Amino acid sequence: MAVVKLTQDLIAHGLHCPAGKQRDELVDDQRTGLYIEVRIASPGQGTYYLRYKDAAGKTCHLKIGRTTDTTLTEARKKAKTLKAEIQLGAVTRVGEALDEPAPAAPTLAAFFDGSYLPHVQPRKRSWKKDESLFRLRVRDRFGDVRLTDLKRQELQAWHADLLKAGIKAATADHHLKLVRQVLNMAVEWGVIDVNPIARIKLFNPDNRLENYLDPAELERLLKVLRTDDNRPVCNVALFLLSTGARLNEALVATWAHIDRENRVWRIPAATSKSKRIRSVPLNDSAVEVLDQLGTEGRSEHLFVGRTGEHLGNVHKVWDRLRQAAGLPHLRLHDLRHQYASFLVNSGRTLYEVQKILGHSSHAVTERYAHLSSRSLMDAANSASVIIKAAMPPAA
């Protein structure tokens, strides 16, 4: 199944069944219920159908005519008329009854490959992750199962089995959410009536783990980052610690977005997690990192590897660096949290932290509220000063 813009030119030249399929559906992108069925046995031609739900909520299919006998304009008019009659309830069965069984629902893999993935690729930045999750753990288990044959109990058991296999709860949830999104789309497009896993509970683990460094640990880390031979990855870590940026934002950063005069790094919406342009102030330590890179004027990107391309996967080198610093559990993302702790413990407000880190909601920034106990005590003491000043002398 593929959602397309039905045109007379497509009907004249584009009606063919994809390789490996016996039949396919070209669904009207105007969501009219109209679709064209093409079969491998009849290349270059197809059959118009109207897909609708009857009074009982059951999905039904009405044959309108062959593309060789009926124009697209005529098919659209007939589909519109039939839908009006169905909505008025004038008849329970209208139009020409199917002279063959209603088309079988596609398999999960066929719908994912032919409909879901093409739909999300231009709309979802993380579509490659969807493709990877489906390929690694969904396709072999449910790929050949037709959408109408997917069972809630089997999907729920599979979700639990992922956890038993050693996969983290959050990752197991990502797999189930992907399948749920695919099936929601199938419901929206009228391929199936209901989503069998619409209300399966997720594990919803609390992954808000932060590893903060005490002064001695910070000193050990900085010593390694200042002296290790792998300068590109060390500079990435120092930049993250100095800006609170996300790893991917730094790896794809370009000199075109560095404003040295105003000491601002503008992160474009295309690479920002919030999908909004974000401005990150460049403090002295961040500027020092930029001065040491040696890529300005020589490369488009800030952080460049031996091949001349921007750095990609730095986790292997980072693992060696954190081991050398005696911090085996310190993640690169923890450097973002550490930067936030610097701000909060220096008396900066959570509003300021939210703006600098680019959080879409203050609720996300609230995770750092527990770090501001010293600042809150100072604020509370300011009230105490006023009270004491207004207190009359003791008799």
Each residue of 206-218: pLDDT tens digit?
555 667 888 899 9
Residues 286 and 354 in one domain: yes
Specify if 94 maps to a domain.
no
Which stretch of DSSP H or E encloses residue 175?
A: helix 169-188
Q: Which of 225-234, 240-249, 335-344 has the lowest mean pLDDT?
A: 335-344
Q: How confident is the model at residue 275 (pLDDT cuts 50, 70, 90)?
A: confident
Indicate the average pLDDT of the chain.
85
Residues 84 and 117 in one domain: no
Q: How confident is the model at residue 90 (pLDDT cuts 50, 70, 90)?
A: low
Residues 301 and 330 in one domain: yes
The pLDDT value recorded for residue 367 is 65
Which stretch of DSSP H or E encloses residue 233?
A: helix 231-243
Specify if 102 maps to a domain.
no
Name the residue range of residue 8's domain.
2-88
- Lookup: tokens for 161: 């089995």
How many Å separate Cα 204 from the centre of its chain?
17
Residues 223 and 335 in one domain: yes
Residues 275 and 311 in one domain: yes
Single residue among 133, 153, 188 that ends a domain in this structure = 188
Whether the pLDDT of residue 346 is over 60: the answer is yes
Phi-psi region of 294 (alpha: psi -120 to 50; beta: other; left: phi over 0): left
How many Å separate Cα 181 from the centre of its chain?
12
Task: Give the domain CATH number at 36.
Answer: 3.30.160.390
Q: Is 200 exposed, middle or buried (0-12, 13-18, 19+ CB in 10 A)?
A: middle
Residues 355 and 221 in one domain: yes
Specify if 263 maps to a domain.
yes
Q: What is the pLDDT of residues 25-67, one digit of tens each?
A: 999 988 889 999 998 767 888 999 998 887 777 888 888 988 9
The pLDDT value recorded for residue 99 is 41
Specify if 224 maps to a domain.
yes
The pLDDT value recorded for residue 365 is 66
Residues 220 and 343 in one domain: yes
DSSP 317-377: HHHHHHHHTT-TT--TTHHHHHHHHHHHHTT--HHHHHHHHT-SSHHHHGGGGGGGHHHHH
103-to-47, 65, 96, 184 alpha-carbon distances in Å: 12, 15, 16, 20
Residues 72 and 114 in one domain: no
Specify if 39 maps to a domain.
yes
The pLDDT value recorded for residue 368 is 65
- CA–CA separation, 46 vs 12, rounded Å? 10
Specify if 248 maps to a domain.
yes
Residues 364 and 237 in one domain: yes
The pLDDT value recorded for residue 95 is 43
Number of domains in the chain: 3
**What mean pLDDT comes out for the span 72-92?**
80
Residues 304 and 357 in one domain: yes
Specify if 203 maps to a domain.
no
Task: Give the domain CATH number at 234.
Answer: 1.10.443.10
The pLDDT value recorded for residue 208 is 58
Residues 67 and 136 in one domain: no
CA atoms within a 13 Å half-sphere pointing along the CA-CB vector of 200 = 26
Residues 310 and 235 in one domain: yes
Which stretch of DSSP H or E encloses residue 35?
A: strand 34-39
Q: Inter-axis angle of helices 215-227 and 315-324, to 10 degrees?
A: 120
Specify if 206 maps to a domain.
no
